[in-house]
Structure 1
């Protein structure tokens, strides 16, 4: 089994979660456990669908070609993540007030659904690449779900302190590099 890939993809897919929860922590906006779980469930569901879709690709092309395409897709997603500051998704990540519509400094269940879908974009594309590589959907979903809960919980708790750190400032870049490294690792694994 590809345990290293499963763990690293769980971390890489959730660095945006860490970044947004840090931003909320700084603004003293709370993300209750129920909202955190909703975000994690959405990421897990999106990942599962993507991994199954990626796994379906294997049925139509050879496993080695599917693995290569999946690895290249992970590299491409990593590159896209590195360049994602140019895309509109980042507006929600840079300005957390766009999600907290009622301005009560609490991310409600309804707001968590919106946030969950925004944050699951990495999971969708990465899941297709993982599925095409034949990596376990179950363990990938568990990894992404657990790391989602951890990163959102840690980020919102330590928001003010961690926003000033290397991870807080460069979470998009770290995530992109990690995805590229996973893709390269899977090409040669």
Structure 2
């Protein structure tokens, strides 16, 4: 399996990072280079573990079965993302948010001393929840939690992509680097096009891509 055939999957996964970046750019939240490195490292480590699990399954199962499982996992990731984004939009529409009025009212707010892995689901629903101290900048510690949140999809996808037969190092390098690059591009894009309504539909595009690719692999 070569780089060109992996590219559409890597792009679909990276568009989630792009969407987070757009949110940060639109709200003028900075992600310093060091924090971006931490996010890349988290994604890379999750992919290493995913590839090892994928190798184990490849050794135990037939090629036809592993490809079907890999396609099914991609579809599952896409469907989960669609449902999660839809629920997030319903919550936001039912309760308008004002992030400047009272920071402690913001979903996902936790004082620094209460930071723990329990905040990850909140970051998945609202990327702004990663800015624990409301400094409008993602610190190294905050980047760790953000990196864990962003690497969840990458982990499951890493297992599924390995089952489809792609090279382990190609998976790790391509997805980890593209995720960080798309996050940075998303921030710059968010700064330029903040307020455009079509951005609200952006999260559904990568999810749909993963579902289509997964169904293609299954059938």
Deviation string for 1:43-64 (max 9, x for gaps)? 1211221122122111111111
TM-score, with normalisation over the residues of structure 2? 0.77
Deviation at 1:90, TM superposition (A): 6.8
Aligned-residue offset at 1:92: 2.2
Offset at residue 165 of structure 1 (A): 6.3
Moved more, 36-45 or 91-100: 91-100
Structure 1 unaligned segments of length 5 or more: list them.
none
In structure 1, C-alpha distance between the alignment counterparts of 2:120 and 2:141, rounded to whole Å: 18
Residue 132 and residue 96 in structure 1: after superposition, are their counterparts in 2 closer, same or farther (change >3 A)?
closer
Aligned-partner Cα distance in 2 for 1:94–1:77: 15
Aligned to 2:166: 135
- For residue 120 of structure 1, give the secondary structure of its aligned residue in structure 2: helix
Corresponding residue pairs, total: 187
Check the 8 A contact 1:70/1:133 in 2, yes or no.
Answer: yes
d(CA) in 2 for partners of 1:96 and 1:84?
Answer: 13
Moved more, 148-157 or 118-127: 148-157
Structure 2 distance, partners of 1:81, 1:2, is 26
1:6 corresponds to 2:14: no
Counterparts of 2:142 and 2:39 in 1: how far apart (Å)? 10
Tell which structure's C-alpha radius of gyration is larger. 2
Q: Distance in 2 between matches of 1:24 and 1:63?
A: 42
CA distance in structure 2 between the partners assigned to 1:31 and 1:151 by the alignment = 13
Which has the larger displacement, 177-186 or 157-166?
Answer: 157-166
Say whether residues 1:170 and 2:170 are aligned partners.
no
Counterpart of 2:181 in structure 1 is: 150
Task: Give the root-mean-square deviation of aligned CA atoms.
Answer: 2.2
| Structure-1-length-normalised TM-score | 0.88
Is 2:135 aligned against 1:104? yes
For residue 72 of structure 1, give the secondary structure of its aligned residue in structure 2: helix
